[in-house]
Amino acid sequence: MKTILGACLALVIIAAGSPCAGAAGCGPFGDPPAEVSRGWFASFLTRHSPVCTDATRLGPWKDAGGDERYACLYEPQSASKENRLPLVIFLHGSVATADSVKFTGLPDLVGKADLGGKVPGFILLAPQGRYTSHFYPGIDAHGFGWDNWYRQLSPSGNQTIDGTTYLENIDATMIDHFVAQVVASGKVDTGRIYLVGWSNGAAMAMLYALNRSWVAAVAVYSAPDPFSAFFDLCSQLPVAGEPNGPGQVHVFNPRVPIMHVRNDCDIGGICPNGNRFAERIRAMGGNIDDVILDSSGTRVTSCDQGCGADVMGDGQIAKTAELRGLVHHVRWPSQWNDKMLDFLEQHSIAPASSAQPP
C-alpha cells in the first residue's frame, strides 16, 4: 500500500481548523493569489526539497514572486532527439513534495510503459509547489501545494480588466518554465504532453490542462474541484466562452480529455464534489472519463452516501467515514496505473504554431 509519506503528509481535511485567511474579495479570476509562507519552518523545507532521488534536480529558477523553484526530472536512457518520447508532468498533493511521485510507481515505468512514442518509455517531470496558504482546514491550511484558487491562467499572460492588471498564476508560469526547459532538449514528442496529479496537485493538473492547448490529455487521482470546493468563497463556473461575470471563468482548452480516478469514500467527503465537477465539464462540451472506486479498487457507479453528500465536500461526516476517506485518499491506486497510462496513450495532438508548448 503506497502512501504520500504517510498520513502526516496527507491532505488532512479531518483535522480541526479553519480555512486560510487572505480572500480579501473575489475578482474575475476567483480568489486573490495565494500567500507564500515566509516563516523559518517553511523556508527550511523550501531550501531542502525536493531531494529528487534517482532523478535530475532542475532549478533553481526564480518566479515572479521572487521564490526559487525546482523540479525533478526522470529520463530513460532511450530518450533522444532521434527517439522523442512523451512527457508526463506529475503534480504532487498538498503538504507533500515533488518526491512523492515515487509513491505512485510512475518513476519505475519511465523506461517501460508505451505511451505512443517511437520506442517504449516516457519522460517524467515533477515540479515542486510553493509553501502557501490553502483553502483547506486543519494542518493543511498552509503547506506545499498549488494555487488553484487564483484562476488567471491565460496563455497570453497578464490580463488587464477595467484598468486592473491581473498577473498570470505563478504556479502555472513555473510549470510552463520547466516544461519549456525539458522540451528545449529536443527529446520530447510535443504531440504527447500529459498531466498527472494527486489531490491538490490533481486539481491543479486539471485547471492547468484546461488552459493549455498543447496538453494532449490528463489523468489524475482524487481531486477536489479546482473551481469550487470546501471553503472557497470565490467559487467559479468554468465556461468555454467569455464569462458573464466574476461567477464564471473562461478556460482555453475546454475539451482536453480528462480521466479522474477517485474514491466512493474520500477525504472530506469530496466524492459528490467530483460528481458536480464531471457534470460541469460535460456541460461545456468537455471530455471526462469519471472513474469511482470502492475500497477494493473496483469501479463502481456512485458515491458512498455514508461518506458525505455535500457537493462542496464540507467534511461534516461521521468520524469513521472521515478515517476511511483519509485512508483511501493517501493511497495511490497503483492497480490503475496501466489504465491511466493507456488513457493518456489514446490521446495525442498535432501541434500547430498556436498550440506549441511554452
Residue type, 287: N
Residue 287's pLDDT is 92
Q: Which residues contact 29 (CB under 8 A, 6 or more apart)?
A: 150, 151, 152, 159, 166, 249
Residue 185 corresponds to which cell in the numbers above? 532538449
Burial tier of 165 (Cβ tally within 10 Å: 0-12, 13-18, 19+): exposed
The 10 Å CB-count burial string (b at 16+, else e) for 283-300 is eeebebebbbbeeeeeee
Computed on alpha carbons and rounded to an integer, the radius of gyration of the chain in Å comes to 19
Q: Name residue 154's amino acid.
A: S
Contact between residue 194 and residue 215 where contact means Cβ atoms under 8 Å apart: yes
User: Which domains does the chain show, CATH number per domain?
Assistant: 7-346 (3.40.50.1820)
Question: How many angstroms from the chain centroid is the CA of residue 143?
Answer: 15
Q: pLDDT at position 352, please?
A: 65
Helices (H), 97-254: 170-183, 200-209
Would you give the DSSP letter of residue 184? T
**CA–CA separation, 34 vs 138, rounded Å?**
17
pTM across the whole model:
0.92
| Angstrom distance (rounded) from CA 265 to CA 97 | 24
**pLDDT tens digits, the chain, 358 residues: what are they?**
344 333 333 333 333 233 333 345 899 999 999 999 888 888 888 887 899 999 999 999 999 999 999 999 999 999 999 999 999 999 999 989 999 999 999 999 999 999 998 899 999 999 999 999 888 767 777 889 999 999 999 999 999 999 999 999 999 999 999 999 999 999 999 999 999 999 999 999 999 999 999 999 999 999 999 999 998 999 999 999 999 989 999 999 999 999 999 999 999 899 999 999 999 999 999 999 999 999 999 999 999 999 999 999 876 778 888 899 999 999 999 999 999 999 999 999 986 656 788 8
Per the structure block, which three cell numbers stand in for 285? 462540451
Indicate the residue type of 134. H
